[in-house]
Chains A and B, each alone.
Chain A
C-alpha cells in the first residue's frame, strides 16, 4: 500500500518558472526521499531529508519537511524543459531498519519551452 499522497497529480509550467510539489504521509518516518523518473525509465534519487531536518537544498532543488503535519514539499526553481518528468516522494518508516521505500503516486511535471 502507498503511504504518500502527492499534490498536484499533474503540473504544467513554463520554462523559468518555479515548480512546487507536495507530499503527505501517514506514519512516523526515519527519512523522506524524492525521486525523479523520466518516462518509463529508472528512478533517479534527488534528495534525502531526515526526520530531524526541516529543509535541505541541492542545486535548484529545495525540500522542506514538516513532521508535525506529516508533509514535505519539493521546489524546483528556474525550471527547464529537461525537468519534465514524474516526481515521487518516498518514505522510510520511522522504526524500520530495512530502508524499504513507500512511494506516493507521483506528480507529473511538464515544463514547456
Chain B
C-alpha cells in the first residue's frame, strides 16, 4: 500500500460528460502529480501541485483541470469527455519536488462510451 488513495477505482461515462477524480496523497506529502496512461500514449505527465499551488504543467488538455485543496487532497476534473479520454489516471505524491521518489495510487480507470 503506497498510502496514496484514489477514488473511484472505475468510472464509466458517456461522451460529453464531466467527471471528477479524487486523490488523497500520503500523509505529509506536499506534492501531488497526475498522470494519464493509455495504450497509444503510454504514461504522460499531466499536472503537478505543490502545497496548493500549480507547480508544473504537462500535456494537459484545456478540457481538463485540477486543483489541490488546503488539506492537500487533489481533484482532476475532466469535461466534455471524448472516447479518446478513456485511460488509466494515476495520482502520485512526493514529499518535495525533484529529488525524491513518488508514490502512486492504484489509479482510476475511466471508460468513455
Q: Which of A's residues lie within 8 Å of B, judged by CB? A: 1-2, 30-31, 33, 35, 40-45, 48, 50, 88, 90, 92-93, 96-106
CB of A99 within 8 A of CB of B103, answer no
Interface 1/0 per residue, B57-85 and A, CB below 8 Å:
01100000000000000000000000000
* A41 and B107 form a contact (CB under 8 A): yes
**Residue pair A103, B98 in contact (C-beta under 8 Å):** no
Contact in complex: A98, B97 (CB < 8 Å): yes
Q: Name B1's closest neighbour in chain A (CB-CB).
A: A42
* B33 & A30 in contact (Cβ 8 Å cutoff): no
**Interface status of B12 (Cβ within 8 A of chain A):** no
The docked-state distance in angstroms from the alpha carbon of A56 to that of B32 is: 27
The distance in angstroms between the C-alpha atoms of A2 and B44, with both chains bound, is: 7
Give the size of the chain B interface in residues (CB under 8 angstroms): 32
Residues of A near B4 (CB, < 8 A) are 42
**CB of B14 within 8 Å of the partner chain:** no
B24 CB contacts on chain A under 8 angstroms: none
A30 engages B99 (CB within 8 Å): yes
Contact, CB under 8 Å: A99 / B42: no
* Other contacts beyond A40-B107, A101-B33: 12, CB < 8 A: A30-B98, A35-B104, A44-B2, A92-B98, A96-B98, A98-B50, A98-B56, A99-B48, A99-B94, A100-B33, A100-B58, A102-B45
List residues of chain A with CB within 8 A of the CB of B31: 99
B103 and A45 contact, CB distance less than 8 A = yes
Chain B residues lying within 8 Å of A96, measured Cβ to Cβ, are 56, 97-98
Cβ-neighbour of B106 out of A30, A42, A45, A102 (below 8 A): A42
Set of chain A residues within 8 Å of B106, measured between Cβ atoms: 41-42
Identify the 7 closest CB pairs spanning chains A and B, nearest first.
A103-B43, A98-B56, A43-B104, A42-B106, A99-B97, A99-B98, A42-B104
| Cα(A88)–Cα(B97), bound, Å | 20
